[in-house]
Amino acid sequence: MLIKHEYFSKKPEEYQKLKQLVETNEEANLRLTIQILQSFGLWTLTTRSNWESQKVFLRLLFDLPPQTRYYWSSTSVLDWSFARLSELPNGLSNTDYVQVLDVRHNQLSFLPIELNKLSYLQSLIAYKNQIQWIPEGLGDIYNLKIINLGNNLIQEIPESLKECAYLRILNLYANQIYFLPDFISHFKNLLELNVSYNHLGRLSLAHLPRLRRLFAVGNHITQLSNYWDTLPKLEKIHLHHNQISQIPESMGKLHFLRELHLYHNQITELPASFKNLKRLEHLTLQKNPISDAEKAKIKRLLPHTKIEF
């Protein structure tokens, strides 16, 4: 179903008439509204769809501001992005087979508890809001693969989230998080983790066998754990703009690593184990207090790597 609410922003009288029909909640009026929307080319939900679901979507449609985009496709996407919403409409839990919920760029301060009723949800996209916490029930959504809650006001990650066994991407960029809990290691299928621009002082990750991309830029990280050998598939690491002074030996065991960004830190040397990073293509070390002698040593360790000092 693709509905362009912008159509109604130019024809407010038509919008109000249809909204009044829907608010009667009478079946005949609801069916009439759908027929009118179809005649405008604004309603393409198939007749095979459950009638109860169609009624829910119809009510949700007229609960939203006239400028809101509403998208429902064969992949079951609800698109309420850039809609100036301060809260999500009631009835969300009654929608069937929603796989993607996109509510980015709104003014949401919370996500409703009923979100956990969306048992088919695979992607939650809610960045650029004012969300203060992740609802505990999110961990009940077993099929969840992508969580993007960047640019919000979140301070902690609830332990219930570890139940999301199929999680592939976790993006918590630009929040208010001070530490990463140990249960992050439960995300055995995680491919990408973004915790850049938070308040992390220590980065301790372990036992994430499929993790390929790590972003922890612009924190206050001074210490790295020594478990990098338990992250064997890492290909890209972005740790620039922190306060890191020492790189652990175990990072030299990341045999698939292609990019490592460490500029704007307090690093004075790299471990000898870096000679094992045969696939490393790009290493950035600008704005670190590295001596000329150490720079020469690093070049010998990584003769085939593009290095920026």
Give all domains of the chain, ordered by start, each with its CATH number. 1-66 (no CATH), 73-177 (3.80.10.10), 178-309 (3.80.10.10)
Joined tokens for residue 195: 């915790």
Predicted local confidence at residue 38, as pLDDT: 72
pLDDT value of residue 96:
59
Provide block-wise average pLDDT over 10 residues at a time, the chain (309 residues).
52 75 79 76 54 63 54 61 84 72 94 89 95 94 95 96 95 97 95 98 96 98 96 98 98 98 98 98 98 98 97
**Which amino acid makes up residue 4?**
K
Instruction: Considering only the C-alpha atoms of the chain, give the largest distance between any 2 of them, rounded to a whole number of Å.
Output: 83
Provide the 10 A C-beta neighbour count for residue 150: 21
Q: What per-residue confidence (pLDDT) applies to 75?
A: 45
| Predicted local distance difference test score (pLDDT) of residue 71 | 47
- Measured CA to CA, the distance from residue 34 to residue 255 in angstroms comes to 57
> Residue 146: what pLDDT?
95
What are the structure tokens assigned to 38, written together?
A: 């179809």
Look at residue 64 in the predicted model and tell me its pLDDT: 55
Say how far apart CA 230 and CA 89 lie, in whole Å. Answer: 43
Per the CB < 8 A criterion, the answer to whether 194 and 150 are in contact is yes
